[in-house]
């Protein structure tokens, strides 16, 4: 398939490699900074570029749109690409607001088999084995699950949406996504009650850390811990190029799917709902 990338952010070099490893083609890319876009194209040997995101959504020689922009831009462009008849792979989090999430979900429902989110950990054989063991009941009843994810130096990166609350920055949407998605994907449970505590940056007003305890509808408790104020860590199977290539190979190939991708897509929208609930319960520990 012929891909167009919307955005040239930090995640895109790895995704270029994954798309090509899966046997697909990166045909075009769009970005707002022309100097950065030119350098990106030279590095990744992509000859076609434009500052016009929508023109690639409309292009007849493009099959898949990869939305790798700040979250506040996702809903409009992903929706437009779907309406232009394209398959869409959207980076997480899907959106920066509940309103945008509902809007995107409504459009995606009209093109049910076209929209996917770019969370690769479910495609790892170890993740699948863990999930099968849990859901089979082999280890007994699930009473407690813990997920954590963090990285550091976000404030030292220079221009980065993660320091802009209006663009969907902060650790809650960026890293809490993994906690929310993994909880439902591994256990089948959705949170009913959430209690949460975190810490906001005094200047940027983004969440630097966010913790929560949630009671799931299956009765188990989920403990979540995410932050951009500590060293990098993850209690999930790490994502890598080979894993992402496997994801790309199977997203729109029903005969090759090792994961229920439609169900996973729905879990992604559930994760957005969970993140909204989580944020509504968050108390800034420095202000308490």
| Residues with catalytic roles | 92
Handedness of CA 138, 182, 228, 243 (dihedral sign): positive
Report yes or no: 49 and 28 within 8 Å, Cβ to Cβ.
yes
**CB proximity list for 255: less than 8 A, separation 6 or greater:** none
Spell out a b/e string for 181-210, using b for 16 or more CB atoms within 10 Å of the CB, else e.
bbbbbbbbbbbeebebebbbbeebebbbbb
Distance of CA 234 to the CA centre of its chain: 15
Question: How far apart, in whole angstroms, are the C-alpha atoms of residue 106 and residue 100?
Answer: 10
Question: How far apart, in whole angstroms, are the C-alpha atoms of residue 168 and residue 162?
Answer: 7
β pairing state of 233-234 and 144-150: antiparallel
β pairing state of 2-6 and 64-67: parallel
In three-state secondary structure terms, 147 is strand
């Amino acid at each position: 398939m012929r891909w167009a990338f919307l955005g040239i952010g930090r995640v895109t070099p790895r995704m270029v490699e994954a798309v090509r490893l899966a046997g697909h083609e990166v045909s075009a890319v769009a970005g707002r900074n022309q100097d950065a876009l030119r350098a990106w194209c030279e590095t990744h040997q992509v000859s076609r570029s434009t500052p016009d995101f929508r023109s690639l959504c409309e292009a007849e020689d493009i099959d898949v749109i990869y939305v790798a922009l700040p979250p506040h831009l996702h809903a409009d462009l992903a929706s437009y690409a779907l309406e232009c008849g394209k398959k869409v792979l959207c980076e997480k989090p899907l959106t920066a607001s509940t309103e945008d999430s509902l809007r995107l979900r409504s459009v995606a429902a009209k093109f049910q088999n076209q929209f996917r989110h770019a969370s690769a950990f479910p495609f790892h054989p170890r993740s699948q084995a863990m999930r099968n063991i849990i859901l089979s009941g082999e280890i007994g009843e699930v009473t407690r699950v813990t997920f954590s994810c963090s990285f550091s130096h976000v404030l030292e990166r220079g221009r980065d949406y993660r320091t802009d609350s209006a663009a969907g920055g902060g650790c809650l949407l960026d890293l809490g996504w993994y906690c929310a998605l993994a909880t439902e994907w591994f256990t089948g449970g959705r949170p009913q009650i959430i209690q949460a505590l975190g810490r906001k940056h005094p200047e940027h007003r983004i969440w630097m850390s966010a913790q929560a305890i949630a009671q799931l509808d299956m009765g188990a408790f989920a403990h979540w811990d995410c932050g951009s104020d500590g060293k990098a860590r993850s209690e999930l199977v790490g994502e890598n190029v080979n894993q992402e290539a496997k994801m790309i190979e199977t997203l729109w190939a029903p005969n090759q799917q090792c994961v229920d991708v439609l169900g996973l897509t729905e879990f992604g929208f559930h994760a957005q709902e969970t993140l909204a609930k989580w944020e509504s319960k968050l108390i800034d520990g420095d202000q308490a």
